[in-house]
Amino acid sequence: MKESGEIKNDVLVQLQASTTIGFYTDDILNDWIDKGHKYCAGFKKWPFTEGRVSTTYASLVTDEDGMLRGEYPEGWKPDSIRLLRIGGKRFDKKDFEKFYEYFEDNSSSTEKFFTDKGLSYYVNANSGGSGSVVSWGQFTPATINGSIPTSTTVFSNNAEEGNEAIVEMVLSYAKQRGKKTKESLAHKSEAVRLLNELWGRIEDEQYQYQVPPNDGMFERFDVLEGALTDDLFRRDQFN
């Protein structure tokens, strides 16, 4: 089940109804399919709703606080940029308030830091950036046009079980319209179960991810001295 037309047909079969009945018109079902798609697509940070967008450093503008501001790519979720590279250099993401506090105390710092708020992101203007700004983050799936039966969802070519969850959500909306609250909740619960099951399989695959051996999580920390062991003990330090 990949296309919106197939989703609609499955819903109608389970409802034992047709679109000739005023209670379940094409327009109503198309709206429910789009609504169910948005719910299921936003249920988790699915790997198939991740995106990469590149723009130019010149597109950033200086805000009233002296920071460079860029706008999120159209259709991206707020606060979802996870990785930002400018001119091939990685910028570390910081908490919004702490970001500004740091630069209030260190106005000349050249640290490659960025932060975001809503649909804007902010970059240290003294970081010496240039070239391309490349961001990785989460986008909001486009509206499903149910009037085109061949329309596909974010799950269609990645994990078709997600489309089964969309069917359950549409059935939930249909039962709610028929004032059958218990049945509506049962279908929604089934949709959630399917989505959690799909997410569990994705997590099982992601366990194999590894980080480089020089990543901070592998640095030894001296609890008593409050410093990294590698910093405390240096070669020839007692000579």
Res 237: pLDDT: 45
- Is residue 11 predicted with pLDDT exceeding 80? yes
Res 46: pLDDT: 92
Pick the closest to residue 50 from 116, 135, 118, 110 (CA basis).
135
User: 206 or 84, which is more confident?
Assistant: 84
Scanning the chain, the segments in alpha helix (DSSP H) are: 4-15, 26-41, 96-105, 161-177, 181-206, 229-232
d(CA 67, CA 122): 6
Quote the pTM value: 0.75
d(CA 9, CA 17): 10
The percent of residues in the chain predicted with pLDDT above 90, rounded, is 65
Question: How much of the chain is helix, strand and coil, in % rounded to 5?
Answer: 40, 20, 40
The mean pLDDT of the chain is 86
d(CA 187, CA 184): 5
CB 70 within 8 A of CB 119: no
Pick the closest to residue 94 from 76, 109, 77, 73 (CA basis).
109
Give DSSP secondary structure letters for 129-156: --SEEEEEEEBPPPPP-TTSTT-B-TTT
In which band, very low, low, confident or very high, does the pLDDT at 213 lie, cut at 50, 70 and 90? low
pLDDT (mean) for 143-155: 90
Weakest-pLDDT range from 124-128, 139-143, 210-214: 210-214
- Is residue 179 predicted with pLDDT exceeding 60? yes
In which band, very low, low, confident or very high, does the pLDDT at 211 lie, cut at 50, 70 and 90? low
d(CA 227, CA 210): 25
Give ∠ CA 200-201-202 in degrees, rounded to 5.
90
d(CA 122, CA 10): 46
d(CA 56, CA 164): 40
- Is residue 168 predicted with pLDDT exceeding 60? yes
